[in-house]
């Protein structure tokens, strides 16, 4: 599921760049950040699960996954800023960055909620 989600994210992003969808459909960038936040939550959760780090306390794990996604989102925004510095495609926009980070976080919260609901359902045999 996680690997498939990553591939879908990359393919959608490639298509969007190739056909200028980010510029022709302004909402598409926000949707991609929401989806990116959700996929990042899957990845962060998978890493924590594999390493058996901090998943015994659900609230702390939930916050840890969401915080991990926020760090990924901040990293992405830094990369976007640096790339735009060397290959200017649009002016840096603090509003766009803020909306991107909010969409990342909301995607992370939604995905993490589903992850933990599925985990609880699976653990309780319902």
Please give the Cα distance from 97 to 78 (Å, whole number): 10
> In which domain, by residue range, is 26 found?
2-124
Question: CB under 8 Å to 58, separation ≥6 — which residues?
Answer: 116, 120
Cα distances (angstroms) measured from residue 41 to each of 18, 58, 124: 26, 14, 23
Please give the Cα distance from 2 to 44 (Å, whole number): 10
How much is the pLDDT for 125?
Answer: 57
Number of domains in the chain: 1
Cα distances (angstroms) measured from residue 79 to each of 23, 73, 76, 109: 19, 10, 5, 23
Nearest alpha carbon to residue 42 among 74, 7, 13: 7
Query: pLDDT tens string for the chain (126 positions)?
Result: 789 999 999 999 999 989 999 889 989 999 999 999 999 999 999 998 888 877 778 888 899 999 999 999 999 999 888 888 888 777 668 888 999 999 999 999 999 999 989 887 777 655
């Amino acid at each position: 599921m996680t690997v498939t989600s990553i591939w879908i994210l990359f393919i959608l992003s490639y298509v969007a760049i190739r056909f200028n969808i980010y510029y022709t459909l302004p909402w598409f960038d926000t949707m991609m950040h929401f989806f990116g936040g959700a996929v990042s939550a899957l990845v962060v959760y998978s890493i924590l699960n594999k390493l058996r780090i901090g998943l015994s306390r659900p609230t702390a794990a939930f916050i840890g996954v969401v915080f991990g996604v926020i760090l990924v989102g901040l990293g992405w925004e830094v990369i976007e800023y640096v790339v735009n510095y060397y290959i200017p495609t649009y002016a840096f926009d603090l509003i766009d960055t803020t909306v991107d980070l909010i969409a990342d976080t909301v995607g992370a919260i939604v995905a993490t909620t589903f992850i933990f609901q599925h985990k609880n359902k699976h653990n309780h045999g319902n």
